[in-house]
Amino acid sequence: MKFLDLAKVYIRSGAGGGGCVSFRREKFIEFGGPDGGDGGTGGSVWAEAVDGLNTLIDFRYQQHFFAKNGQHGMGSQCTGKDGDDIVLKVPVGTEIIDEDEETLVADLTQVGQRVLLARGGNGGWGNLRFKSATNRAPSRANPGQDGVERTLWLRLKLIADAGLVGLPNAGKSTFLAAVSNARPKIADYPFTTLVPNLGVVGVDGKEFVMADIPGLIEGASEGRGLGDQFLGHVERCAVLLHLVDGTSSTITRDYRTIIAELEAYSEELASKPRITALNKIDALDAKTLGTRKRALEKATGGPVFLMSGVSRKGVPEVLRALWAQIQERRGTAQEDAPWQP
């Protein structure tokens, strides 16, 4: 299944049915009077977050969603049938944005969460509604209300607790495959991941979700390479794991390149808690490892973990540090949540 995290859709709710002008005409009933029914309500357009989806690819092949109109009213006080609703089933983590690409309409972050995108038009009144003591035979009825037409953007941001960032070939996919059941593409030649991957990571009996996004390169914020189009998938993460390739001879430059791209994308993303790890230490001798660790610690101004995704050396310590940050952020989020009786 192809991965798609941005889609444009055109929606329209159904129009309400018109009211009916009708009079009761039956044998042996001298004064029948008006009996026109109301029109039915038009169908509405909803969006619902469902489990089991992780892409918006379905909305590439179908972009127009029009709900049914309400049926017109009929005689004998018969109300028209309501139009059927339409439900757009989207993955959890989907943002719905207005046509201006700035106004957030809804953010669906939980399974089963629903939002009304376009309400169906009300049905018109039949002439029975206009009967009064002074107007015993009204000959008027209301038309149905028009539906609502909108153009919306769907943007998917994967729900993950921790996110992997780094240059291409820093070992992010290898690390994710080593600590989870995710199976991203891994090979012994240089290439970059093309789509984000999710994996459930376990450490000390605890589990959390980790996202691996395509590697950034210098100038990604200006559109070079794959650009920064996938950085939105780590905006929801509580902590970022920055992997630096230990076999590179320019590790401090590599580190600063990623930090610069994060800052260019968003101040909020750049300010997220980060854990820095020097990867591929199994390919380094002790002297080189010590030199590069000290250089990276000087560049980061903080501690640097040593690990190898292949041999799994140092991996448990990194996972425990990630879990500690996730627990801390979750506790802060619960404290900031509004009190509910």
Cβ-proximal residues to 337 (8 Å cutoff; 6+ apart), any chain: none
Angle made by CA atoms 23, 26, 31, in degrees to the nearest 5: 60
Contact of 277 with 166, CB cutoff 8 Å: no
Take residue 195 and report the two structure tokens written for it: 């789509």
Cβ-proximal residues to 157 (8 Å cutoff; 6+ apart), any chain: 5, 93, 94, 95, 232, 233, 235, 236
Annotated binding-site residue numbers: 166-173, 191-195, 212-215, 279-282, 308-310
Annotated binding-site residue numbers for Mg(2+): 173, 193
* Rg over CA atoms, the chain: 29
Q: What is the distance between the alpha carbons of residues 111 and 215, in angstroms, rounded to a whole number?
A: 29
Annotated binding-site residue numbers for GTP: 166-173, 191-195, 212-215, 279-282, 308-310
- The DSSP output letter for 272 is S
Contact of 282 with 310, CB cutoff 8 Å: yes
Q: What is the full DSSP assignment across 106-151?
A: EEE-STT-EEEEEPPPPPPPPGGGG--SS-SS----PPPPP--EEE
